[in-house]
Structure 1
Amino acid sequence: MNKLIAAPGRLARMLPFRRKSHAAPVALPSFAVSAGDIAVLPDPAVFRRELLQRIAQATRRIVIVALYLQDDDGGREVLDALYAAKARQPALQVSVFVDWHRAQRGLIGKQKSAGNAGMYREYAARLGPGVEIHGVPVQNRELFGVLHLKGFVIDDAVLYSGASLNDVYLARHGRYRLDRYHLLLHRGLADAMAGFVQQYFAESAAVCRLDAATVPSTRALQPAIREFRQALQHAAYQVPHELPGAGELAVTPLLGFGRGDNALNEALLALLGGTRRRLILLTPYFNLPRPVRVVLGQLLRRGCTIDIMVGDKVANDFYIPPGQPFKTIGLLPYLYENNLRRFARAHRRQIDSGQLNLHLWRDGDNSYHLKGLFIDDDVAVLTGNNLNPRAWSLDLENGLVLRDPAHLLQAKHEAEWAALRRHATRVADYHALESPRRYPAEVRRLLRRLNRTRLDRLVNRLL
């Protein structure tokens, strides 16, 4: 964050700021999935139990893709479970894919360390081979893009969540970071998601084992990373055109990478633009890409009702409580709140009328990491995409589009939305959000510096 504030020119030149028109995609291919084979898990504790139980019962394959598998009690519990599953079933395929850069550094604000990769090597040295842990370098540097793909494939089940694997995501030690959690039982969908990982990750020279005794440097991998990025520009899931029958709905996995020909971005914009009556949008960081803001404005002018739920700034994972030493990364929750305040002020008439509802989620010292869409009563999007400029153009993302014209999942979706609102408060007007004049002195100083240099726009695109 300090380097970002200090080097605007170089960073601006490296970012893709071109504007591009977005055409609606053709009809999406899909898997026909029984509504009874799709479950919404209610909380991180249930998600953790389901994950560990599925790992323990696995017979053929476990393919885990996450931003990180942390060196803490939660991460070690998962890694212990993976090694135990492999010991019980020697023929079991166990593959874990995490972000290459994130795995090899310590936590932000902490002292330098070998990162989570040190734990991976320690386990491999102690317990032997069998659990393969790979690092995926989406970009040459973490700042300019990470592996943000989601989905755990265990035999024929897909456990899909935006959560990574550590104490707080798995509700260990009394705190949690809330995400969404879905279980889909469908062999074709599981095969497509595992097949993508095998084709584009496991067979790439840029994707290396992190549990090995020696690991190549990022510099040595740069030619392979360039080829890997080029392959991802044209990558896609292999999805048939199955027609849902009675009791079934259409499920489409989509990939998103880069600003051009981004299938996930194109589908999200087309789905948003097709809203007839009501949209519910979930995002952890209120920093919407410009194309999304444009579509939201169009929907409001058409008379659609929009609900947006974000985390209160104290529910942001970068929030630093008063009294603790302040670090520059702690500025982010205030930037996002500023974005929300400006948005609320610009749309105060729609907020007053109830057409636009902004919900702030807060539950003690727990944090909020939700993302996704509910469109009318017949479309839902499960995704790890934060719906911010970084996800829109830098990170490698994916999502599952659920099209449900028979409203087979409507009751489950309504129950999920009702549960989320239990810890949320509707913003009555922009005055309900803290004024920047009342922010801590260090935050005010940094905000003035960003605004003076117009760097706030650049920061919003990167973080």
Structure 2
Amino acid sequence: MPFFSRKPDLASLPGFAMPADCMQTLHSASEFRQTLLRLIRSAKTRIHLAALYLQQDEAGAEVLEALYQAASSNPRLDVRLFVDAHRAQRGLIGQGKQAGNAAWYRQRAQQQPLANLAIYGVPVQSKELFGVMHLKGFIIDDAVLYSGASLNNVYLHVGERYRYDRYHLLQHAELADSMSHYLVAQLATDPALIRLDRPPEPDARAQRQLIRQLRQKLAHTQCRLPAVTRGSASIHPICGQGRGNPFNSLLLQLLRQPTQQLVICTPYFNLPRSVLLQLDALLARGIKVEIIVGDKQANDFYIPPEQPFKVIGCLPYLYEMNLRRFARKRQTYLQSGQLTLRLWQHEGNSYHLKGLWVDQQYMLITGNNLNPRAFTLDLENGLLIHDPHHTLKPQITQELANIRQHTAVLSHYRQLQKLRDYPEKVRKLLGRLGKLRIDRLFYRLL
């Protein structure tokens, strides 16, 4: 089976033929949670889950207990969970010192040791600040449930609030085999991985060397894929880590493709310079560009002014400042309607959508935030769907309609607040960062 080259060509991408009826688009976090639990409970051969984290809360416990129940009732079932190693070993940001989810995983494993259940921590970098395991995808038997969501209360809508994402269920045995092989053969066997459900084996110096070797391997590792017959609908899984990786190259090629319209979703408005250049080239060619981004109040780090201030609460304002600068430079396109900026906000909920739609021909489903960190530090993946005969048009139209439902169109950059409008503590901190030019470093790492 061929692999992606360093710079994949859209015309010759390896991938799988995609029957029109193999994909189902889900439209809510609750439906996503119900589907995930249903698939876990009915699994016969494998459950291989990849997510940034599985949180110790009500929703996370429900998923973990479902995994243990499935593994204990069927000893032949292969159950593996892959999460970021560093994220699993720390507490929540801004919540003080905590043991992290790994302590919970170990405690649960001690209560019920199972030979056919494993929880792996994937250390992409030596420190979380410099990159995380951001792979997505839940492979259960011959199904792939793909979302940018992690596993906790807000992502799975357990409680009052939800974090809105994209959710797709694909019944495709070859795709499931390919993604499963990447996780099991390429990741699970690597000595850098940490078994989070076992007592830790501290050896920091040796671990740093193993992480470097893993990162070098990931830069050249892809899913096993066949060649695809052109003309039919197809699906193409792709991974990437580090500068200039195949996933980055694919994203930039997609941005060169539109002849009519491009739609982008991103939760944190901090586009890499290479992406900005491609967007400006599209606008110069007369292509319509629509960007759907979360309002600052729909950011997962937003803290209402009446609540105690934390430094992390400055992030939504940084992203809004970035969006305002972007809109100001392109105000002419906003006024003409060629550029559409939509801000998503729905009550107290948050926004976490990512992806691209190109001319109703290509659709990218991904957890990639389209920011400098994703382009240079994190381990990312995605599913590119090519639909030349528009067989998926009804699903795509419905998904975009649902996404746009709680958005407001920005007609002028002045509709966005500026620094002087922000709460006092936010204004002072961001003002100091700007004077020291540290905000540019923040944009590279966040």
User: What TM bracket, shorter-length normalisation?
Assistant: over 0.9
- Answer yes or no: is the 8 Å Cα contact 2:13–2:228 preserved in 1: no
Distance in 1 of aligned mates of 2:7 and 2:361? 23
- The one-letter code sitting in structure 1 at the alignment partner of 2:290 is D
- Answer yes or no: is the 8 Å Cα contact 1:33–1:244 preserved in 2: no
- The one-letter code sitting in structure 1 at the alignment partner of 2:312 is I
Deviation at 1:297, TM superposition (A): 0.1
- The yes-or-no answer on 1:326 pairing with 2:312 is no
Distance in 1 of aligned mates of 2:17 and 2:230? 5
Distance in 1 of aligned mates of 2:35 and 2:222? 28
Among 236, 257, 262, which residue is 2:222 paired with? Answer: 236
Distance in 2 of aligned mates of 1:26 and 1:453? 46
| Residue in structure 2 matched with residue 52 of structure 1 by the alignment | 37
Deviation at 1:69, TM superposition (A): 0.3
| Residue in structure 1 matched with residue 136 of structure 2 by the alignment | 150
| Residue in structure 2 matched with residue 80 of structure 1 by the alignment | 65
- The one-letter code sitting in structure 2 at the alignment partner of 1:333 is P
Distance in 2 of aligned mates of 1:111 and 1:460? 24
- The yes-or-no answer on 1:63 pairing with 2:63 is no
Provide Cα deviations, 1:148-203, integer angstroms capped at 9, x if missing partner. Answer: 00000000101000000000000001110000000111111101101001122111
- The one-letter code sitting in structure 2 at the alignment partner of 1:128 is P
- The one-letter code sitting in structure 1 at the alignment partner of 2:210 is A
Structure 1 spans left out of the alignment, 5+ residues: 1-20
| Residue in structure 2 matched with residue 283 of structure 1 by the alignment | 266
- The yes-or-no answer on 1:222 pairing with 2:208 is yes
Distance in 2 of aligned mates of 1:379 and 1:23? 15
- The yes-or-no answer on 1:40 pairing with 2:39 is no
Relative to structure 1, is the Cα distance of residues 145 and 353 closer, same or farther in structure 2, using a 3 angstrom cutoff?
A: same
Provide Cα deviations, 1:43-85, integer angstroms capped at 9, x if missing partner. Answer: 1000000000000000000000110000000100000000111
Distance in 2 of aligned mates of 1:403 and 1:320? 40
- Answer yes or no: is the 8 Å Cα contact 2:155–2:164 preserved in 1: yes
Among 384, 406, 415, which residue is 1:423 paired with? Answer: 406
- The one-letter code sitting in structure 2 at the alignment partner of 1:445 is K
| Residue in structure 2 matched with residue 341 of structure 1 by the alignment | 324
| Residue in structure 2 matched with residue 251 of structure 1 by the alignment | 235
- The one-letter code sitting in structure 1 at the alignment partner of 2:144 is V
Note the aligned Cα RMSD (angstroms). 1.4
Provide Cα deviations, 1:220-253, integer angstroms capped at 9, x if missing partner. Answer: 41111111111111111111012267xx511000
- SS at 1:70's partner residue? coil
- The one-letter code sitting in structure 1 at the alignment partner of 2:169 is L
- SS at 1:196's partner residue? helix
Deviation at 1:33, TM superposition (A): 1.4
- Answer yes or no: is the 8 Å Cα contact 1:63–1:96 preserved in 2: yes
- The yes-or-no answer on 1:117 pairing with 2:71 is no
- SS at 2:374's partner residue? helix
Distance in 1 of aligned mates of 2:432 and 2:148? 33
| Residue in structure 1 matched with residue 416 of structure 2 by the alignment | 433
- Answer yes or no: is the 8 Å Cα contact 2:32–2:156 preserved in 1: yes
- The one-letter code sitting in structure 2 at the alignment partner of 1:253 is P
Among 86, 90, 97, which residue is 1:105 paired with? Answer: 90
Distance in 2 of aligned mates of 1:431 and 1:242? 48
- SS at 1:140's partner residue? coil
Deviation at 1:402, TM superposition (A): 0.3
Structure 2 spans left out of the alignment, 5+ residues: 1-5
Deviation at 1:435, TM superposition (A): 2.1
- Answer yes or no: is the 8 Å Cα contact 2:258–2:358 preserved in 1: yes
TM-score, scaled to structure 1: 0.93
- SS at 2:389's partner residue? coil
Where do 1:293-442 residues align within 5 Å? 293-442=276-425
- SS at 2:124's partner residue? coil
- SS at 2:98's partner residue? coil
Distance in 1 of aligned mates of 2:140 and 2:203? 31
- SS at 1:256's partner residue? strand
Distance in 2 of aligned mates of 1:125 and 1:219? 28
Provide Cα deviations, 1:391-436, integer angstroms capped at 9, x if missing partner. Answer: 0000000011000000011111111011111100001101111122
- The one-letter code sitting in structure 1 at the alignment partner of 2:255 is L
Deviation at 1:267, TM superposition (A): 0.7
Distance in 2 of aligned mates of 1:217 and 1:146? 20
- SS at 2:18's partner residue? strand
Where do 1:72-221 residues align within 5 Å? 72-129=57-114, 130-216=116-202, 218-221=204-207
Q: How many percent of aligned residue pairs carry the same amino acid? A: 52
Give the number of aligned pairs: 440
Deviation at 1:219, TM superposition (A): 4.2
- Answer yes or no: is the 8 Å Cα contact 1:24–1:269 preserved in 2: no
Relative to structure 1, is the Cα distance of residues 377 and 328 closer, same or farther in structure 2, using a 3 angstrom cutoff?
A: same
Deviation at 1:26, TM superposition (A): 5.9
Deviation at 1:215, TM superposition (A): 3.9
Relative to structure 1, is the Cα distance of residues 217 and 365 closer, same or farther in structure 2, using a 3 angstrom cutoff?
A: farther
- Answer yes or no: is the 8 Å Cα contact 2:299–2:351 preserved in 1: yes
Relative to structure 1, is the Cα distance of residues 232 and 112 closer, same or farther in structure 2, using a 3 angstrom cutoff?
A: same
- The one-letter code sitting in structure 2 at the alignment partner of 1:292 is V
